[in-house]
Amino acid sequence: MSSLGMNSRGEVRTASEFKDMFDDTGISASPYKCPFCEVLYVDKCIVTECVKAPHFGLVPKGEAHRNGCNGEATDSGVVTTSKPSRAPKGIVAGDIDLPEALVSRRNPTRLRQPGGDDNGPPPDVTEVRRRRRIVVGDPTIQSCFTTYNIRNIVEAYKRLRSKVHDAAVALGQSPGTDEYKKTFRASLEFHPLVLKKVKLNYRIAFSNSKLFPSRDNRIYSGNGTILIDDKFIVIQDNDVWPATFERTKSAPLTVRIARTLPPESPTTHARALAELEQLALEQKPIDWWAYGTATLHHDRFEILVESFDHLYWKNQYNPSARSTQPES
Ligand SMILES: [Zn+2]
């Protein structure tokens, strides 16, 4: 299995980047090929939700790469997850791959020579080497399980919590007991999560109204109602948040995101904006998640969200649900 693939335009991306694109648009970039030797690939866990990280397999199974290629940019082979195969005692690892990093959207790297197309001859040894050098030298290509949308991280977090809960209960630990809390804490901390280069884990990367907000970016969550003004969508959280570490004072919290989209924004951002404007009209409360920093201004916390990739809410428009509806 490989973590890098190429679409018919000769652009190399990681399997998780192809998954993000599919989640956004509902359109698969298949057929995929090995970006180096162009042997045919099949995508795994890209158009379907699964417990494994997105990756590619060879078609047919047992087919081999050619001209010194192993499907990766280096000879050391696949770098997928850093997770040890067995979790230490007292930790529930769960048989799932979780996104390991929140990254920025990036432009794809084109690997084919100018004029090369999907019907060209297979790359020879020199060409395979040239392509591998390009990928090795490109620091924006990360072979771990990344995503640019917090949606994938939030959904993985929910799956992990429910797995840890089930496992702890199966061990006879009741929710609320010290034993249960210890298992929960250790199990979430066991799973690394990098938020824009800041190394955290699946416990400390998340926060809510029960904790004094960190000075750094986190994924915050709550339940709130939506208002719109001239410039911003504003989610007013229904809870008060601790305004001191000792929780002696509290303050309301709002999440803001600009209603003006930057040029060349993906169409999914326009759709997310329209959906929030509609929810504001309907006065429906939402369960929200936002990546950013909660800062205190005039006795009120504010999280200013930079991109619609960093704001997610329950039942947010989901293109994979669309494919189950009849075509019109
Ligand atoms: Zn290959």
Q: pLDDT of 260-272, one tens digit each?
A: 999 989 989 999 9
CA–centroid distance, 284 to ligand 1, in Å, is: 50
CA–centroid distance, 71 to ligand 1, in Å, is: 4
For 212-233, give one letter per residue: b (16+ CB within 10 A) or e: ebeeebbbbbbbbebeeeeebb
Q: pLDDT of 201-237, one tens digit each?
A: 999 999 999 999 999 999 999 999 999 999 999 999 9
Supply the pLDDT for residue 129: 95
CA–centroid distance, 29 to ligand 1, in Å, is: 18
Supply the pLDDT for residue 108: 86
The overall pTM is greater than 0.85:
yes
Spell out the domains of the chain, with CATH numbers in brackets.
1-146 (no CATH), 207-328 (2.40.50)
CA–centroid distance, 63 to ligand 1, in Å, is: 10
Q: How far from chain centre, in Å, is Cα 295?
A: 24
Confidence of residue 249 (pLDDT cuts 50, 70, 90): very high
Supply the pLDDT for residue 208: 96
CA 196 to CA 215: how far, in whole Å? 15
Confidence of residue 81 (pLDDT cuts 50, 70, 90): very low
Supply the pLDDT for residue 41: 96
CA–centroid distance, 56 to ligand 1, in Å, is: 11
CA–centroid distance, 86 to ligand 1, in Å, is: 30
Average pLDDT over residues 150-163: 94
Q: pLDDT of 37-71, one tens digit each?
A: 999 999 999 998 888 899 999 988 888 999 999 99
Supply the pLDDT for residue 327: 36
CA–centroid distance, 13 to ligand 1, in Å, is: 14
Amino acid at residue number 207: S
Is residue 78 scored above 60 in pLDDT?
no
Supply the pLDDT for residue 315: 87
Average pLDDT over residues 293-299: 93
CA–centroid distance, 143 to ligand 1, in Å, is: 15
CA–centroid distance, 4 to ligand 1, in Å, is: 10
Q: pLDDT of 309-320, one tens digit each?
A: 999 999 887 544
Q: Cβ contacts of residue 262 below 8 Å, gap of 6+?
A: none
CA 220 to CA 213: how far, in whole Å? 9
Supply the pLDDT for residue 257: 98
Range with the poorest average pLDDT among 112-121, 171-180, 215-224, 277-286? 112-121
CA–centroid distance, 125 to ligand 1, in Å, is: 11
Q: pLDDT of 93-111, one tens digit each?
A: 777 899 999 999 998 889 9
Give the residue with greater pLDDT, 173 vs 284: 173
Q: Are 36 and 71 in contact (CB under 8 A)?
A: yes
Is residue 13 scored above 80 in pLDDT?
yes
Is residue 248 scored above 60 in pLDDT?
yes
Q: Are 108 and 134 in contact (CB under 8 A)?
A: no
